[in-house]
Structure 1
Amino acid sequence: MDLKVKILKTKTEITLPVNKGSLIITKGKNQSIPTNGIALYLNDGKLAGIQTPPTKVQRTILIMPAWDLESDYLFRSFAEAASENGLNLKQGSDVKIPGSQLKVVQDFRELIMAILGGLGFDLFGTPKKKFKGKPRHRWTKAVSQIAFKVDHDGSHATVYWQKRNEMLIKAGAVMKPQPELNKDGSLGFSARFAEQLRSEHTDAVENSVTTKDIVLKSVNEVGLFLYFGGTNSWLVLKDAAGKSINEWTVVKG
């Protein structure tokens, strides 16, 4: 994920991808909340308040989503996630998230969580032994020689993990033509990212079939490019014997 980051003396500003909005991270209490935004207040790296700051605040994270996502819905989504993780925070507004917006809001919240997780923030203070984070995978020269097949959701391809940060999709790969839409007819975050990824390789695709070898950066990008994601692609790519790329490369222990 490519992010535009500006580190200043008193704050860090992050521009989210695909015009999704921005984040501002500051030390201490920041009560200047934009109209279409929410504030997360942290103590000891853990979420301690949303919108209404607790007595002690070590860090503030201001989230400003794009104009088409209501901040009240995002507030509710973070409050519910906090409650599910055992944090007793004031819930604030009793606004309900419409069914048509639920997936959009959840996708955006997961995007924020992924970014903050990458920066070292564990908002809910989940114990490490219970944290079901992404497993680590190790590339090897031996793995680079294996032809991994994709047969998922109408997509068919042969893929090689040829270098540490290079996934090669062989020419002739069949791509899923259209993504699934949200209930309101809009594209989810993953689908929008996949569309952007596909637009970068239009010269190598004809009628949803690749005409040239295509190199991407990761297994996840391969899944987005071929079938718009929606599943764990580490389990989708399999060798001729049915052994997944996850089984070949996951680091155990």
Structure 2
Amino acid sequence: MEIKLDVLITETKTNIKFSNNQGAITISNADSKEITVEQPTVYFLLKANMIIYIGKTTKNASHDDVDFNKIIMLTPPWEIEIEYLEQLFIDEAMKNEINLVNTAKEEIKIPANQKKIVANYKDEVLLVLENFGYNIQPKLEVKETKAKPAKAQHRWSKEVSRIEFFVSSRESKATAIWHKRNEMLLKAGAKMMPTPPLNKDGSLGFAAKMGEKLRSDYVDKIKDFVTTEDLVLKSVNEVGLFLYFGGTNSWLELIDADGKTIDEWTRVD
């Protein structure tokens, strides 16, 4: 399956548009318990990045009785009925033993001529969400696999802001400093991996596309794949995407002069 997307990421929101007017997804922090939409929408409420509620609305909704801090809103194309799509997402979550709150709803019977269309669209959405870290599909070989640890949390400090970290990975070499809470300073002279890795079918993967987008933002400060000025990026992950198109845990690639990673310096256990 190949899905073309137009993605805009900010510090508080991720906007994802499908090609050919096939809908849009918005992932954002929840500033209130009120949900207001302009088009029919299926939405997911999350707590600690776990989906805890799946619902739908055509105008607005309120969830004072649900403890959530993030929301994913899906606006499907006009031919997809939101009540059918909501039902299939709930079925998927229940099948995978996700504990949803307030799901005592009458099950909707989906007409046979609609089920395949809606199911195909649901699968596309789940694939996109999975690539952004939100997964309600079953994991393979669950019995053989150890439980994944929660995603590591890292904390900036004044102490770490004075440390130079060095990168030597995938044809790239650079020096970076986490000099402000939301800024990574990449020093001039950073050598970048020239060519992005490709998928098996020869196409660019999502990380490679993000890396190329970052590079295009600073094209006037790059010559022969070497930066000519200090650059400011937003995060450790952006440094990895910019230098070597990601593909590895960048928290383990930034290492100080004594061999201590930025992960070791900043991880919150």
Provide the TM-score with structure 2 as the length reference: 0.58
2:159 to 139, 142, 167: 142
Question: Residues 83-232 of structure 1 correspond to what in structure 2 (within 5 A)?
Answer: 108-112=128-132, 114=133, 117=134, 123=136, 130=147, 132-232=149-249
Change (3 A) 1:155 1:18: farther
What code does the residue aligned with 2:24 have?
A: S
1:47 to 93, 102, 105: 93
Change (3 A) 1:22 1:139: same
Paired residues, what number?
A: 189
**Superposition deviation, residue 22 in structure 1:** 1.6
Q: Which residue of 1 aligns with 2:24?
A: 22
CA deviation map 1:45-99 (0-9, x unaligned): x81379xxx99479xxxxxxxxxxxx84972895xxxxxxxxxxxxxxxxxxxxx
1:238 to 229, 238, 255: 255
Provide the TM-score with structure 1 as the length reference: 0.62
Change (3 A) 1:163 1:33: closer
Change (3 A) 1:251 1:15: closer
**2:93–2:136 CA contact under 8 A, matched in 1:** yes
**2:199–2:205 CA contact under 8 A, matched in 1:** yes
**Superposition deviation, residue 134 in structure 1:** 1.7
- Secondary structure in 1 matching 2:264: helix
Alpha-carbon distance between aligned partners in 2 of 1:110 and 1:148, rounded to the nearest angstrom? 31
Aligned CA RMSD, in angstroms, stands at 4.0
**Superposition deviation, residue 2 in structure 1:** 1.6
**1:2–1:17 CA contact under 8 A, matched in 2:** no
CA deviation map 1:75-130 (0-9, x unaligned): 2895xxxxxxxxxxxxxxxxxxxxxxxxxx6xx34334x3xx5xxxx74799xxx5
Q: Which residue of 2 aligns with 1:83?
A: none
**2:164–2:175 CA contact under 8 A, matched in 1:** yes
Unaligned regions of 5+ residues in structure 2, if any? 1-7, 26-40, 44-54, 59-74, 97-102, 108-118, 140-146
Unaligned regions of 5+ residues in structure 1, if any? 7-13, 59-70, 79-104
CA deviation map 1:202-230 (0-9, x unaligned): 01100000000000000000000000000
CA deviation map 1:176-217 (0-9, x unaligned): 011111111110011111111110000110000000000000
Aligned residues with identical type, % of pairs: 45
Alpha-carbon distance between aligned partners in 2 of 1:216 and 1:57, rounded to the nearest angstrom? 49
What code does the residue aligned with 2:196 have?
A: P
